[in-house]
Amino acid sequence: METLVPSGTDGPEARLAREIARSAAGEAREAEGQLYRLLAPRVRRYGLRHLRDGHAAADLVQQVLTLTIEQLRAGAVREPDRVLSFVLGTCRMTLMDQRRTDLRRQQLLERHAESISVADIHEAPRLDHQRVADCMDRLPERERSVLVLSFYDDQPSEAVGAQLGMSSGNVRVIRHRGLHKLRRCVQATGTPR
Amino acid sequence: VNPHAGHLSLELLLQDWLGETEPQVRDAIDTHLMACDACGALFDELLALGQGVREALRTGAVTMVASADLLARLAAQGMQVREYRLSHNGSVNCTLAPQDEVLAARMEAPLQGVRRLDLVHAISLAPGVEHRAEDVPFDPAAGELVVLTSVGRTRPLPAHTSELRLLAVEDGGNRELGRYTFHHQPWSG
Phi, psi of B150 (to 5 degrees): -60, 120
pLDDT tens profile A114-145? 555 444 445 667 788 888 999 999 999 999 99
pTM for this model (two decimals): 0.86
- ipTM reported for the complex, 2 dp: 0.94
| Contact criterion met (CB < 8 Å) for B49 and A151 | yes
**Residue B1 with chain A: CB contacts under 8 Å:** 1-2
Q: What integer best gives the mean pLDDT of chain B?
A: 94
Look at strands B81-86 and B102-108 and give their pairing. Answer: parallel
- Mean pLDDT, residues B171-189: 94
What local confidence, expressed as pLDDT, does residue A126 receive?
Answer: 76
pLDDT at A127: 81
How far is residue B41's CA from residue A128's CA, in Å, rounded to a whole number?
18
Q: Hey, which residues does B83 pair with through a beta bridge?
A: B104
Compare all CA atoms of chain A with the CA of B45 and give the residue at the minimum distance: A125
Residue-level pLDDT at B184 = 97
Predicted confidence (pLDDT) per residue in B77-130, tens digit: 999 999 999 999 999 999 999 999 999 999 999 999 999 999 999 999 999 999
For residue B59, how many C-alpha atoms fall within 13 Å in the half-sphere facing its CB?
Answer: 14
Distance CA B104, CA B94 (A): 11
Burial class (CB in 10 A: 0-12, 13-18, 19+), A84: buried
Q: What is the pLDDT of residues A68-101, one digit of tens each?
A: 999 999 999 999 999 999 999 999 999 988 877 6
Do the Cβ atoms of A172 and A149 come closer than 8 Å?
Answer: no
Instruction: Return the residue in B13, B32, B33 with the most chain A beta carbons within 10 A, the one to mutate for interface testing.
Output: B33
> Å from A132 to nearest chain B CA?
6
Partner A, chain B 46-65, Cβ-Cβ below 8 Å:
47-57, 59, 61-65
Nearest-CB residue to A163 (from B31, B36, B69): B69
Q: Quote the pLDDT of residue A101.
A: 63
Say if residues B122 and B163 touch (Cβ distance below 8 Å): yes
Q: How far is CA B124 from the centre of its chain?
A: 24
| Other beta carbons within 10 Å of B22 | 9
- What are the counts of helices (DSSP H) followed by strands (DSSP E) for chain B? 5, 9
pLDDT of residue A119: 44
Distance, CA of A160 to CA of B66 (rounded, Å): 10
Sheet holding B91-94, edge to edge: B91-94, B173-184, B160-170, B117-123, B130-133
Distance CA B95, CA A147 (A): 28
Give strand ranges (E) for chain B: 64-65, 81-86, 91-94, 102-108, 117-123, 130-133, 144-149, 160-170, 173-184
**Which chain B residue's Cα is nearest to A148?**
B53
Position A8 confidence tier, pLDDT thresholds 50, 70, 90:
low
Determine the 3-state secondary structure of B159 from DSSP: coil
Model confidence band, residue A26 (pLDDT cutoffs 50, 70, 90): confident
What SS3 class is residue B67? coil
Q: CA A20: distance to chain centroid?
A: 24
pLDDT in tens, B12-65: 999 999 999 999 999 999 999 999 999 999 999 999 999 999 999 999 999 999
B129 in A contact zone (CB under 8 Å): no
